[in-house]
Structure 1
Amino acid sequence: MDAIIVLDMQVGLLNGAPKHDLQGVVRRINLLTAMVRERSGKVIWIRHCGKPGDGFERDAEGWSFLPELDRHTDDAVIEKTLNDPFVRTGLHSTLAQIAPDRVIVTGWATDSCVDSTVRSAISSDHHVVVASDAHTVSDRPHMDAAAVIRHHHRVWSNLLTNRSVRIVTAGQLLHEAAS
């Protein structure tokens, strides 16, 4: 059984610079969450709760999940205040209860919350799969978004782990599930 973590796909991410292939990422996240549910897995939505006035403040417009996302009432929602959703949240215990064979990671932002989640999931001894085309970021001053994403795929592929780290497309995951 899989658990899929969807990071910070909230209305507030629409503010600021455009996000790389955001509509494609949303579409692929919806396909992957449907796949996980169909296979009796668990969908875990991570919601960032920001400080007053920062656009992700609790109950502010930016705090809401993107309306295009296909969320179900039996999905888990875990709120975080830091980049890493494993810190001071119920994510560890939720994953311990689920005991997934692997943890699929998607969402926003590649070089921050997605990166922290991948590293913490590995450190927590989970098999990790990064859906390579189901996370996003905006251009950075020193690097365009596509380069940021490619860089992190290379870094994650070379992390030391007792389990495994796979970087595959959403299409590959969907194909494997259909086989």
Structure 2
Amino acid sequence: MSDTALLIIDVQTGVVDGEMRAARLDAVLDSLNLAIAKARGSDMPVIFIQHEEDDLPRGSGAWQLHPQLARQDGDAVVHKRYGDSFCDTDLARLLSARGIAKLWIGGAATDFCVDSTLRNAVSRGYQVTVIADGHTTLSAFALSGEQVIDHFNAIWQASSATPLPLRVLPAAEL
């Protein structure tokens, strides 16, 4: 079993394909599915993170993971109520039980849940690789979703003050 796990955060129908469609969604889904295939080929666990809140209730159609994701029955699913996937969830225990030291991270939303999770993972001592073409967000705050994605990739790439290197790679280079 690998010491690396793939985390796919909040790629849920209502999050990425609801009233507004997330930036580069089709390409992001393709990249995530490529990462899933690479993870499975390396005997890495694939863990899906699923957000819920009052306007995204558990069990609703909007809450469901996106149907184009290449999920399998044995994949772990972690449910959360906060942006950070470690906050008040069993994610840390799940990773520890599997001997995971490294994470590949992708999903939604770049500027909220993905960023919060990867920063907490880095602080917890995980070696993190962000899938550069495997995360997305909505346009907001006068920025397009594409601008937000590009901005965060640049910020993460430039982050050198981390205990272990924070890598940003396209799915094809994982």
Normalised-by-shorter TM-score class: over 0.9
Shift of 1:33: 1.0
User: Structure 1 residue 162 and structure 2 residue 151: aligned?
Assistant: no
TM-score computed with the length of structure 2 as normaliser:
0.93
- Share of identical aligned residues, percent? 32
Q: Residue 14 of structure 2 corresponds to which residue in structure 1?
A: 12
CA distance in structure 2 between the aligned counterparts of 1:171 and 1:38, rounded to whole angstroms: 14
Name the CA distance, whole Å, in 1 between partners of 2:101 and 2:141.
38
Contact 2:34 / 2:172 at 8 angstroms: preserved in 1? no
Equivalences for residues 24-63 of structure 1 within 5 A: 24-51=27-54, 54=55, 56-63=56-63
Residues 35-63 of structure 1 show CA distances to partners (whole Å, capped at 9, x for unaligned) of 11111111010000111xx1x20111111
TM-score where L is the length of structure 1: 0.90
Q: RMSD across aligned C-alpha pairs, in angstroms?
A: 1.2
CA displacement at 1:159 relative to structure 2: 5.1
Gaps of 5+ in 1: 174-179
Aligned to 1:129: 129
Larger mean CA deviation between 117-126 and 145-154 belongs to 145-154
Alpha-carbon separation, structure 2, partners of 1:114 and 1:17: 18
| Matching residue's letter, 1:110 | T
Q: How many residues align?
A: 170
- In 2, the alpha carbon distance for the partners of 1:145 and 1:136 equals 7
SS in structure 2 at match of 1:60: coil
Q: Does 1:100 align with 2:100?
A: yes
- Greater fraction helix: 1
CA distance in 1, matches of 2:141, 2:117: 23
Q: What is aligned with 1:117?
A: 117
In structure 2, runs of 5+ residues without a counterpart are: none
